[in-house]
Amino acid sequence: MPILSTRTGAGGPAPGASDGKEGRVKLDLLIRNARTRFSKGKTLDIGIAGGRIAKIGQRIGGEAKRKIDAGGKLVAESFVNGHLHLDKVYTLSMVGMDALSAHDRLLLETAKMIREDFLHQNAYDPVDTYTSLAKQFRLLQAILAYYHYAKRALEAGTDLNALISLPVREEISRAKFIPENELQRFDEIKKHAAAQAAAAAAK
């Protein structure tokens, strides 16, 4: 996800920024065609004067010492904490899932499966309360098998929504409840992932 960071303070127009001509401002920097966490997918212009954000709008008039065309990239204020998981806590909530490529959306769906189908455990369930390393390994294999087969189908031009809706995902979500003495059922899940992704690609 391309990001530009503006090292400026937030707030209203910088003191003395207006030139008095139809509300235009004298800008040090004008960033055009930018997306922000408030723009809801639309592109905006950002005017900066005196080290502060002076104006945000769809077409800002006036002169600027320097201009940057953001080209639809996300423009963010300076990060106080540089260690941010941007995909989860920052950019995705700003720009929405639709702003991501199909491959990135598939990757996030797979990460969601790892979080919900693998990491979440039901301590009150007699089967899921304990899971052997062998079963954990097979469950991860099933999730990754879905991802690789779906990715292959996606690269062949298959619609992403069709791949996200494959019935095998429901099988994987219930796989944590497979008894320890029936681990061979994971092999069937992987076969179903391959067959369903191939069938979706053939449509």
CATH of the domain at 35: 2.30.40
The pLDDT of residue 169 is 97
Would 145 be classed as within a structural domain?
yes
Both 55 and 133 in one domain: the answer is no
Contact 14, 31 (CB under 8 A): no
Q: What are phi and psi of 28, to 5 degrees?
A: -80, -35
Domain that holds residue 122: 101-202
Q: What is the CATH number of the domain that holds 127?
A: 1.10.1140.10
> What is the amino acid identity at position 150?
A
Average the pLDDT over 191-201 and give the result.
Answer: 97
Average the pLDDT over 33-40 and give the result.
Answer: 78
Q: How many structural domains compose the chain?
A: 2
pLDDT in tens, 39-67: 777 889 999 988 888 888 888 887 889 99
Would 94 be classed as within a structural domain?
no
The pLDDT of residue 166 is 97
Would 90 be classed as within a structural domain?
no
Average the pLDDT over 81-92 and give the result.
Answer: 50
The pLDDT of residue 42 is 82
Higher local confidence (pLDDT), 179 or 90: 179
Both 112 and 48 in one domain: the answer is no
Give me the percent of the chain exceeding a pLDDT of 70: 75
Instruction: Report the alpha-carbon distance of residue 166 to residue 198 in Å, rounded.
Output: 11
Mean pLDDT, the chain, integer: 81
pLDDT in tens, 140-189: 999 999 999 999 999 999 999 999 999 999 999 999 999 999 999 999 99
The pLDDT of residue 10 is 43
Both 143 and 193 in one domain: the answer is yes
Taking the complete model, does pTM exceed 0.85, yes or no? no
Both 72 and 117 in one domain: the answer is no
Give me the percent of the chain exceeding a pLDDT of 90: 45
pLDDT in tens, 125-145: 888 888 899 999 999 999 999
Q: How confident is the model at residue 93 (pLDDT cuts 50, 70, 90)?
A: low
Higher local confidence (pLDDT), 94 or 119: 119
Instruction: Report the alpha-carbon distance of residue 22 to residue 62 in Å, rounded.
Output: 9
Would 93 be classed as within a structural domain?
no
The pLDDT of residue 80 is 45
Q: Among 29, 33, 28, which Cα is nearest to 74's?
A: 33
Both 138 and 197 in one domain: the answer is yes
Q: Residue with structure tokens 């449509």?
A: 203
